[in-house]
Amino acid sequence: MKSPLRPGDPPSLGGYRLLARLGEGGMGSVFLARRDDDGPLVAIKMIKPEYAYDEEFRARFRSEVKRAWQVPPFCTAAVLDADPEHRTPYLVVEYVDGPSLDEVVAREGPLADSRLHGVAVGVATALTAIHGAGVIHRDLKPQNVLFALGTPKVIDFGIARPLEVTSRHTRPDQMVGTVAYMAPERFDDAHRDITPAADIFAWGAVIAYAGTGRTPFRADSPVATAARILTQPPDLTGLHGSLAELVALALSKEPEDRPAAHELLQMLLAQNTGGQSIGRPLREAAEAAQLSGRHVSGGGDRPVPRPKKKRRGRLIAATAAATVLLAGAGFYARWPAEVDVNVQVKRSTPLAVMPVPGAVRGPWVVDALDRPGQWKSTTDAYGGKCSFKNGLAMTTPSFAMVCPGPAASFAGDQSISADITVTNERSCAEVQFRAAAESSYWLDLCPRIVRIRHEGTLRTTTLASADDAGFTPGQRHKVVLNLRDEVASVSVDGNSVLDAKLTDPSLPTGKVAFGVGPAGDEEVVAGAVVAHAEIRPTGNGTGPAGLAFTDVRRGTTKSIVAVRGYYPKSRSVVVEPVLFMTGDEYCRTFKLTPSSSNPCEQAWLTEDSKMVVTLPTSATPRLFSTFDDPGRCAGDPVTVGTCAIRPAELAERLGTNGLVELTTTDGVVTGMADVYTP
With residue 286 as reference, give the H or E element that holds it.
helix 280-292
Q: With respect to residue 466, please indicate whether it lies within any of the assigned structural domains.
A: yes
590 CB-side CA count, 13 A: 30
Is 255 in the same domain as 116? yes
Least confidently predicted of 56-70, 111-125, 431-445, 508-522: 56-70
| Amino acid of residue 55 | E
Give, as one character, the DSSP assignment of residue 435. E
Whether residue 216 is preceded by a cis peptide bond, meaning omega within 30 degrees of 0, is no
**CB of 137 within 8 A of CB of 164?**
no
Is 240 in the same domain as 271? yes
Handedness of CA 414, 318, 293, 255 (dihedral sign): negative
* CA gap 158, 481 in Å, rounded: 39
Predicted pLDDT of residue 340? 27
2 is in an annotated binding site: no
CA 436 to chain centre: 17
Q: Please determine, for residue 37, whether its predicted confidence score (pLDDT) is greater than 70.
A: yes
Q: With respect to residue 176, please indicate whether it lies within any of the assigned structural domains.
A: yes
Q: Please determine, for residue 394, whether its predicted confidence score (pLDDT) is greater than 90.
A: yes
Q: Please determine, for residue 291, whether its predicted confidence score (pLDDT) is greater than 70.
A: no
Clarify whether 139 is annotated catalytic. yes
Is 557 in the same domain as 463? no
Q: With respect to residue 349, please indicate whether it lies within any of the assigned structural domains.
A: no
Q: Return all residues near 421 (Cβ < 8 A) that are at least 6 apart.
A: 391, 429, 473, 474, 475, 476, 477, 528, 529
How do beta strands 509-518 and 353-355 pair? unpaired
**CB of 274 within 8 A of CB of 321?**
no
Is 523 in the same domain as 421? yes
Is 438 in the same domain as 505? yes
Phi, then psi, of 508 in degrees rounded to 5: -80, -10
462 CB-side CA count, 13 A: 8
Q: Please determine, for residue 19, whether its predicted confidence score (pLDDT) is greater than 60.
A: yes
Predicted pLDDT of residue 149? 65
Per-residue pLDDT of 501-549, as tens digits, reads 998 876 777 889 999 999 876 777 899 999 999 999 885 444 444 567 8
**CB of 136 within 8 A of CB of 157?**
no
Q: Please name every residue paired with 526 in a beta bridge, in sequence order, or none if there are none.
A: 396
Least confidently predicted of 25-39, 81-95, 615-629: 25-39
Is 487 in the same domain as 409? yes
* CA gap 215, 209 in Å, rounded: 5
Query: Quick one: average pLDDT of 71-98?
Result: 84
Predicted pLDDT of residue 362? 53
| 231: exposed, middle or buried (Cβ count in 10 Å: 0-12, 13-18, 19+) | exposed
How do beta strands 668-674 and 611-625 pair? parallel
- Per-range mean pLDDT, top range of 45-49, 176-180, 651-655: 651-655
Predicted pLDDT of residue 636? 66
Per-residue pLDDT of 590-639, as tens digits, reads 666 665 445 677 777 777 788 899 999 999 999 999 877 877 888 765 67
pLDDT band per the 50, 70, 90 thresholds, residue 300: very low
Is 426 in the same domain as 479? yes
Q: Please determine, for residue 64, whether its predicted confidence score (pLDDT) is greater than 80.
A: no
End-to-end Cα separation, the chain, in angstroms? 37
Predicted pLDDT of residue 81? 85
Q: Please determine, for residue 387, whether its predicted confidence score (pLDDT) is greater than 70.
A: yes
| 401: exposed, middle or buried (Cβ count in 10 Å: 0-12, 13-18, 19+) | buried
Q: State the chain's mean pLDDT as an integer.
A: 79
How do beta strands 556-567 and 572-582 pair? antiparallel
Predicted pLDDT of residue 609? 80
Is 245 in the same domain as 109? yes
Least confidently predicted of 229-238, 247-256, 259-268, 352-361: 352-361
Q: Please determine, for residue 317, whether its predicted confidence score (pLDDT) is greater than 70.
A: no
Q: Which residue has the higher pLDDT, 79 or 343?
A: 79
Q: With respect to residue 261, please indicate whether it lies within any of the assigned structural domains.
A: yes
Q: With respect to residue 241, please indicate whether it lies within any of the assigned structural domains.
A: yes
Is 171 in the same domain as 288? yes
Q: End of a domain among 482, 505, 537?
A: 537
Predicted pLDDT of residue 523? 72
Percentage, residues of the chain above pLDDT 70: 78
Is 128 in the same domain as 212? yes
Percentage, residues of the chain above pLDDT 90: 43
Q: With respect to residue 350, please indicate whether it lies within any of the assigned structural domains.
A: no
Least confidently predicted of 153-162, 213-222, 326-335, 360-369: 326-335
Please calculate the CA angle 289-293-295 and round it to the nearest 5 degrees. Answer: 155
Least confidently predicted of 223-237, 273-287, 394-408: 273-287
Q: With respect to residue 343, please indicate whether it lies within any of the assigned structural domains.
A: no
Choose the catalytic residue: 37, 83, 139, 340: 139
Give, as one character, the DSSP assignment of residue 100. B
What's the CATH code of the domain at 504?
2.60.120.560
| Amino acid of residue 184 | P
| Amino acid of residue 523 | E
Is 29 in the same domain as 114? no
**CB of 201 within 8 A of CB of 218?**
no
The torsion angle over the Cα atoms of residues 479, 485, 487 and 493, rounded to 10 degrees, is -20
pLDDT band per the 50, 70, 90 thresholds, residue 3: confident
Q: Please name every residue paired with 431 in a beta bridge, in sequence order, or none if there are none.
A: 443, 514
3-class DSSP state for residue 107? helix
Least confidently predicted of 49-58, 298-307, 611-620: 298-307
**CB of 668 within 8 A of CB of 615?**
yes
- Helices assigned H by DSSP within 213-279: 222-231, 241-250, 261-272
pTM as predicted? 0.52
497 CB-side CA count, 13 A: 29
Predicted pLDDT of residue 204? 97
Q: How many domains does the chain have?
A: 4
Q: End of a domain among 61, 95, 129?
A: 95
What's the CATH code of the domain at 266?
1.10.510.10
Per-residue pLDDT of 171-217, as tens digits, reads 333 334 589 999 999 887 554 667 899 999 999 999 999 999 999 99
Nearest Cα neighbor of 654 from 645, 667, 663 is 645
Per-residue pLDDT of 407-428, as tens digits, reads 887 877 889 999 999 999 999 9
Is 117 in the same domain as 88? no
Structural domain range at position 32: 1-95
With residue 28 as reference, give the H or E element that holds it.
strand 28-34
Per-residue pLDDT of 546-591, as tens digits, reads 567 888 999 999 999 999 999 999 999 999 998 888 878 877 776 6
Q: Is 416 left (phi over 0), alpha (psi -120 to 50) or beta?
A: beta
**CB of 621 within 8 A of CB of 665?**
no
Q: With respect to residue 383, please indicate whether it lies within any of the assigned structural domains.
A: yes
How do beta strands 643-644 and 556-567 pair? unpaired
Q: Which residue has the higher pLDDT, 291 or 51?
A: 51
Q: Is 509 left (phi over 0), alpha (psi -120 to 50) or beta?
A: beta
Give, as one character, the DSSP assignment of residue 172. T
Q: Please determine, for residue 309, whether its predicted confidence score (pLDDT) is greater than 80.
A: no
CA 433 to chain centre: 19
Q: End of a domain among 537, 554, 589?
A: 537
